């Protein structure tokens, strides 16, 4: 059998049918972090349930710290990471919202914590389904953000995320976002690497300035304006470096399994005249819609963004260079302005026509027909009075 990512023959015995949550838990078991601080509700993902079972069965030496809140869970992760222990955690939705204060601290204290986030809507109304609003809360915190499109990618990016977070030039938290339910609770074949291969890939945790060393130090001190500005600038530069060091990590990962990742990926983009930009699990739907339109002779394509922070603006500009009209699909909103992926894309390209589409809030389905309708809309003149299109709510005249 050959995998859908590579022509290399694959060993079928390495494939297991796993949900995204279970796949992340498998990655956690193989990475075997020292500390895994979590708060087990509000809502949580199946990740900690599956990983807690591994620890209970003696298959991981990790210490699971069940904190009294996500705020404390993230605080414990930061403390452990700076003390010199490999710390990872998982959360979702309101849980990430409650963590967010310490997520900013984790980034500024340069604690390389890998965080799995089952991306879900924020209340209210109360809703537990998939969207990217929770992840967008952490957008400006300074963490590396990856939004994966399959359970396999969730597994792969957890493993690569450790190397990226702990890279000496980066030392920042890495947030691996997998869409709630669409990925966290849906099962698909996932290739699980050998335990030894993952352990060799991530290597031992070697934080360069551990608190538990022979040299004393002050962590998290107050900074006056002049220093604060420079420290923030240094932190921003570190996040930018994450994009530069990523190719070496993805290449080294590709040697393990043949799957070669990039910050973003184009599909049918070679001669595309109209293109859409999207993140997360709806990539499959987008590609299906593109296939459908290609059969009708329409030159359309899709770019899937995986690395959201730092934003791969040069790669995106290159992908969209020859495109005449773009629709950017956001699964989050910025009330009163344009949504995040739209603004980043707008800033990266010079294309005059860039439409904003908001889809899938609170888990609403995005259908291939919705996408076809948006591509049709791109053929007509822009409607300035109504700049954002709400998929599934707004009517578009369909071409028959």
Query: Which residues are near another protein by CB under 8 A?
Result: 82, 108-111, 171, 208-209, 215-221, 223, 226-227, 230-231, 233-234, 238
We find the least distance from the C-beta atom of residue 379 to another protein, in angstroms, to be 50
CB nearer to another protein: give 6 or 234. Answer: 234
Supply the minimum distance, in Å, between the C-beta of residue 162 and another protein. 18
Give the DSSP per-residue string, 298-309: --EEEEEE-EEE
In the complex, least distance from residue 82 CB atom to another protein, rounded to whole angstroms? 7
Task: Compute the least distance from the CB of residue 106 to another protein, in Å.
Answer: 10
Nearer to another protein (CB atom), residue 83 or residue 187: 83
- Pick the closest to residue 114 from 138, 140, 90, 137 (CA basis): 90
Give the DSSP letter of residue 397: P
Contact 14/192 with Cβ under 8 angstroms? yes
| Residue 274 CB, nearest approach to another protein (Å) | 44
CB atoms closer than 10 angstroms to residue 242: 24
Q: Considering beta carbons, is residue 99 or 238 the nearer one to another protein?
A: 238
Closer residue to another protein (CB): 85 or 361: 85
Q: How far is the CB of 230 from another protein (least distance, A)?
A: 6
Residue 141 C-beta: closest distance to another protein, Å: 14
Per DSSP, what are the bridge partners of residue 64? 36
CB closer to another protein out of 1 and 216:
216
Contact predicate 165/174, CB 8 Å = yes
- Which strands form 388-390's sheet, in the order they lie side by side? 264-267, 300-305, 274-278, 325-330, 353-358, 388-390
Segment (H or E) for 173: none
Helix (H) or strand (E) holding 328: strand 325-330
Single out the residue of 250, 360, 364, 363 nearest to residue 307, CA to CA: 250
Which CB atom, from 232 or from 321, has the smaller least distance to another protein? 232
CB 317 within 8 A of CB 326: no
Q: Is the dihedral of CA 336, 339, 342, 344 positive or negative?
A: positive
Q: Please tell me the number of Cα atoms within 13 Å of 122 on its side-chain side.
A: 16
Residue closer to another protein by CB (options 227, 251) is: 227
Nearer of residues 243 and 344 to another protein, judged by Cβ: 243
The three-class DSSP label of residue 227 is helix
Q: Please, where are the H alpha helices in 146-208?
A: 151-166, 195-202
What's the min distance (Å) between Cβ of 78 and another protein?
Answer: 10
């Amino acid at each position: 059998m050959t995998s859908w990512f590579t022509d290399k023959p694959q060993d079928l015995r390495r494939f297991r049918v796993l949900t995204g949550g279970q796949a992340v838990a498998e990655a956690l078991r193989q990475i075997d972090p020292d500390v895994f601080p979590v708060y087990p509700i509000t809502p949580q993902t199946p990740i900690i349930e599956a990983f807690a079972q591994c620890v209970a069965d003696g298959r991981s030496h990790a210490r699971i710290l069940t904190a009294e809140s996500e705020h404390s869970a993230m605080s414990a992760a930061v403390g452990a990471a700076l003390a010199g222990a490999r710390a990872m955690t998982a959360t979702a939705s309101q849980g990430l919202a409650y963590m967010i204060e310490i997520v900013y601290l984790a980034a500024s204290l340069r604690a390389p914590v890998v965080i799995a986030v089952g991306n879900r809507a924020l209340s209210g109304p109360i809703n537990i389904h998939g969207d990217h609003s929770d992840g967008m809360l952490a957008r400006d915190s300074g963490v590396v953000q990856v939004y994966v499109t399959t359970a396999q990618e969730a597994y792969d990016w957890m493993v690569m995320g450790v190397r990226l977070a702990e890279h000496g030039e980066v030392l920042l938290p890495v947030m691996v976002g997998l869409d709630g339910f669409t990925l966290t609770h849906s099962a698909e074949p996932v290739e699980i690497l050998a335990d030894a291969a993952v352990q060799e890939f991530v290597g031992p945790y070697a934080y360069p300035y551990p608190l538990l060393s022979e040299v004393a130090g002050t962590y998290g001190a107050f900074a006056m304006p002049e220093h604060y500005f420079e420290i923030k600038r240094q932190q921003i530069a570190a996040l930018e470096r994450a994009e530069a060091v990523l190719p070496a990590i993805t290449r080294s990962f590709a040697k393990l399994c043949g799957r070669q990742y990039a910050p973003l990926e184009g599909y049918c983009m070679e001669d595309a005249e109209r293109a859409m930009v999207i993140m997360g699990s709806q990539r499959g739907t987008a590609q299906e819609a593109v296939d459908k339109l290609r059969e009708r002779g329409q030159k359309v394509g899709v770019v899937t963004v995986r690395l959201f922070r730092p934003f791969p603006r040069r790669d995106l500009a290159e992908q969209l260079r020859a495109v005449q009209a773009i629709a950017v699909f956001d699964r989050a909103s910025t009330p009163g302005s344009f949504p995040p992926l739209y603004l980043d894309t707008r800033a990266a390209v010079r294309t005059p026509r860039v439409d904003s589409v908001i889809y899938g809030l609170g888990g609403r389905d995005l259908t291939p027909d919705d996408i076809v309708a948006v591509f049709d809309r791109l053929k007509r003149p822009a409607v300035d009075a109504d700049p954002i299109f709400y998929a599934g709510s707004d009517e578009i005249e369909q071409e028959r």
